[in-house]
């Protein structure tokens, strides 16, 4: 998930991670838009698996790279926000899993109370 803030504790060999905001399993329709390496604008509709106020995990049938800048639009609320791909998971039958972090998150971006 993109909103992870890692905080390692070496004492007793344990590692802990703290996340900003509460995560919620939610399938929200979204559109991502990005410029490819040649400068051509591309877009695709997809859906989230997990959301929180700072980003989401999205499933997309296209291969993007880490730190790719995208425009993320919530198709339910028609809100848009600049975002960055911060994690790339496994390829699944319905696409790749990505962690997407909102650049300037609005707390009501998802239209849900988180």
Whether 6 maps to a domain, the answer reads: no
pTM confidence score: 0.78
Query: Residues 10-49: pLDDT tens digits?
Result: 344 444 455 566 777 899 999 999 998 888 999 999 999 9
Q: Does 107 reside within a domain?
A: no
Domain count, the chain: 1
CATH value at residue 33: 2.40.10.220
Q: Is the dihedral of CA 44, 48, 53, 54 positive or negative?
A: negative
**15 lies in a domain?**
no
Residue 86: domain span:
22-102
Q: Is residue 95 a part of any domain in this protein?
A: yes
Determine, yes or no, domain membership for 36.
Answer: yes
Q: Cα torsion for 74, 78, 80, 83, to the nearest 10°?
A: 10
Q: Is residue 5 part of a domain?
A: no
**Residue 108 lies inside a defined structural domain of this protein:** no
- Which tens digits make up the pLDDT trace of 61-75? 899 999 999 999 999
């Amino acid at each position: 998930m993109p909103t992870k803030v890692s905080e390692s504790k070496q004492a007793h060999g344990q590692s802990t991670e703290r996340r900003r905001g509460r995560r919620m399993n939610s399938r929200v329709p979204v559109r991502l838009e990005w410029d490819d390496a040649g400068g051509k604008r591309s877009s695709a509709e997809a859906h989230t698996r997990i959301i929180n106020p700072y980003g989401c995990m999205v499933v997309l049938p296209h291969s993007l790279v880490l730190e790719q800048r995208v425009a993320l639009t919530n198709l339910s609320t028609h809100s848009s926000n600049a975002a960055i791909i911060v994690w790339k998971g496994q390829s699944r039958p319905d696409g790749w899993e990505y962690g997407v972090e909102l650049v300037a998150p609005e707390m009501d971006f998802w239209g849900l109370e988180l």
